[in-house]
Structure 1
């Protein structure tokens, strides 16, 4: 690849980060527009019971999460050898078309399918874009490359999601998805124009990448992320009706609640990087412990604006720091299968999204009210921390057994002339 000017490198990095911005918008904007989606796509259910309709509409958020879970490892395993720029363009084309479909299809079932398809490129985009960004920045700057691309998602939660949520409230949820599709279309053009061509890894094979799943600690890490984050998503999925029906805030304030969450996520990203550099296990426990504290406080203060805003900030910080910790933990325990390890981090996050949205929606649809998801989220977060403790304990015991077995094996070799 020919040497690029500093200006060209900056433009390429901004193009890649714009894709992260779009993904952040498309993933989280439905949470602020959930009542709008329920009222339009489930009109009969909404007329009988808005709470039931909101609970059922949470399946649209779960559909996106399921798409990430399926797409991230599958595309990562099968596409590692493909040229990176061309792969990015294909992924962006798919998500653009699927987001347009989300904005225009008439029925709940068809929009559900469109959200699933739109999510398939999510994990692969972040993985490939991070590799490209690291290459553009040069040796020893892989972390900065990853941070730059993920930074687009963080900014989306501070600026993009609240702005598009406001747009959806004012002009209809379909226009919100049209705006998201426009972001992806702009990203496609930007990547095509300024990102240099890069080869893939011609030696990569599906079997080599899938070896990661033979390692028990990979499954532990996925479980910690999935269950731990499900506690957060059980609440965040229903943040709009919680803010309006429980806290008593006007609908116009919901975008401000989302801004506070995004600010917490930004702080969590920076703090998470600092904590992870000083011990990934401690960082995991701090992140998920913070989720437990935030949800426990929210359970008793959700009727107050101060409690809601403070806890949303803490929850955003928890997901920001926790996602970095899970990413590094997966890379630590995945051996040589680093590509798929980077991708399945997004699967873990979105398994949590699916599980949290489903369980939170179940208690809402059952008529238990919008405070019930907070209790569900608290219980799930506790399970996530317990799973982390089990994982670390098992790993420590395995490490103690290996040194103990080594001397015995050495004596065996000495006594055996063969």
Structure 2
């Protein structure tokens, strides 16, 4: 890996924005299914529930794929790893766009998630290696900005494409969107070849025994679980609780994405993977915000305003916690990105499941937001139980 570039406090290599473009395409693919489920169910003659399971398939693929792909690619040249994962991602979207078999489509979602996880794990290790230590949080934020921008623009655009041209057009659009990033990866990615003696996957996995690493992973999973417990139900809350027309849903999702984008960028400029007072204050504010949303979601204006705020808090804190994982797992430079990816996607998978179990029992979709409040409160309790931070981390 080339030495980090020290070109000023605000310097971020242009190549990180190339990686951000790829992450934007992958984030769009991950989240766009929520708006394509009816079309998939109708076109492939399956139930809505079966079509909705494509989202769970992607989450499971991310959880399984992150550590496996990071371990397999740990000794690959970075350019080959990034290009290989991105090429496979394009290929499975082409297959998904043309298949008429739901089982094949389901399989492509799992494979897409696995290679997405591999790409993200390698991209995060590349990003943190290309910048000075003080800039690692900002480098992580550049990558995660791709995810938040996919919420703002990619997901609504995919929903519109699905409505105008059918769900297959959204798959084609994701494949095409990856091509410029793929070309730039071939041209600009570090071409170093990792030597076998430089990386020990077994030694890196042993960092999971660290209490600091486990705490950071638990926090990331709980915060993301809280985020997606509500995000998965935002559309239903808008139409069934707030009584908004379905046409207002893309705007509400975009509002969440705008807040997320702002939060990630603020976190990238103010944090360094450490539990500073500002981040702790934001974390303590998180359950309060979810409680406010749960109690005011019957009104349009409060719903939109709190959605923006919670999007900002959730993704800003999440971005900081990703940096935190990579900070405390610095002895695992090849695998730490995959640890963070697993934690985030475990939360994204389990949060909606827990929210679904609660709302099915109570019949009130607002209880999904109370699940978010409970998970965020648990995260606060975990932080409160941690040993006092060193002065450098305050």
Structure 2 length normalisation: TM-score?
Answer: 0.84
Give 5+ residue unaligned stretches, structure 1: 3-8, 47-52, 400-418
Q: How does 1:316-327 map to 2 (within 5 A)?
A: 316-327=311-322
Distance change in 2, residues 1:253/1:185 (3 Å): same
Q: Retained in 2: the 8 A contact 1:276–1:324?
A: no
SS of 2:325's equivalent?
A: helix
* Cα distance in structure 2, aligned partners of 1:96 and 1:39: 25
Distance change in 2, residues 1:179/1:124 (3 Å): same
Matching residue within 345, 348, 357 for 1:362:
357
Which residue is 2:294 aligned to?
A: 299
* Cα distance in structure 2, aligned partners of 1:93 and 1:212: 31
Distance change in 2, residues 1:193/1:330 (3 Å): closer
* Cα distance in structure 1, aligned partners of 2:43 and 2:173: 18
Matching residue within 219, 224, 228 for 1:224:
219
Which residue is 1:153 aligned to?
A: 147
Q: How does 1:120-139 map to 2 (within 5 A)?
A: 120-133=114-127
The structure that has the greater radius of gyration is 1
Q: CA deviation at 1:116?
A: 2.1
Q: How does 1:37-56 map to 2 (within 5 A)?
A: 44=47, 53=49
* Cα distance in structure 1, aligned partners of 2:372 and 2:311: 14
Matching residue within 233, 239, 246 for 2:241:
246
Q: CA deviation at 1:283?
A: 4.9
Which residue is 1:414 aligned to?
A: none
Q: Retained in 2: the 8 A contact 1:32–1:254?
A: no
C-alpha RMSD of matched pairs (Å): 3.3
Matching residue within 86, 91, 100 for 1:92:
86
* Cα distance in structure 2, aligned partners of 1:152 and 1:383: 28
Which residue is 1:416 aligned to?
A: none
Distance change in 2, residues 1:168/1:84 (3 Å): same
Which residue is 2:366 aligned to?
A: 371
Matching residue within 30, 33, 36 for 2:33:
30
The answer to whether the aligner puts 1:162 opposite 2:156 as a matched pair is: yes
Distance change in 2, residues 1:61/1:294 (3 Å): farther
Q: Which has the higher helix share?
A: 1
Equivalenced residues, count: 383
* Cα distance in structure 1, aligned partners of 2:224 and 2:173: 28
* Higher alpha-carbon deviation: 208-217 or 56-65: 56-65
Matching residue within 254, 262, 273 for 1:267:
262
* Higher alpha-carbon deviation: 307-316 or 128-137: 128-137
Distance change in 2, residues 1:139/1:288 (3 Å): closer
Q: Retained in 2: the 8 A contact 1:134–1:146?
A: yes
* Higher alpha-carbon deviation: 272-281 or 111-120: 272-281
Q: Retained in 2: the 8 A contact 1:13–1:133?
A: yes
Which residue is 1:200 aligned to?
A: 194
Distance change in 2, residues 1:175/1:250 (3 Å): farther
Q: Retained in 1: the 8 A contact 2:273–2:321?
A: no
* Higher alpha-carbon deviation: 124-133 or 245-254: 124-133
* Higher alpha-carbon deviation: 189-198 or 84-93: 189-198
Give 5+ residue unaligned stretches, structure 2: 3-11
Matching residue within 182, 189, 208 for 2:183:
189
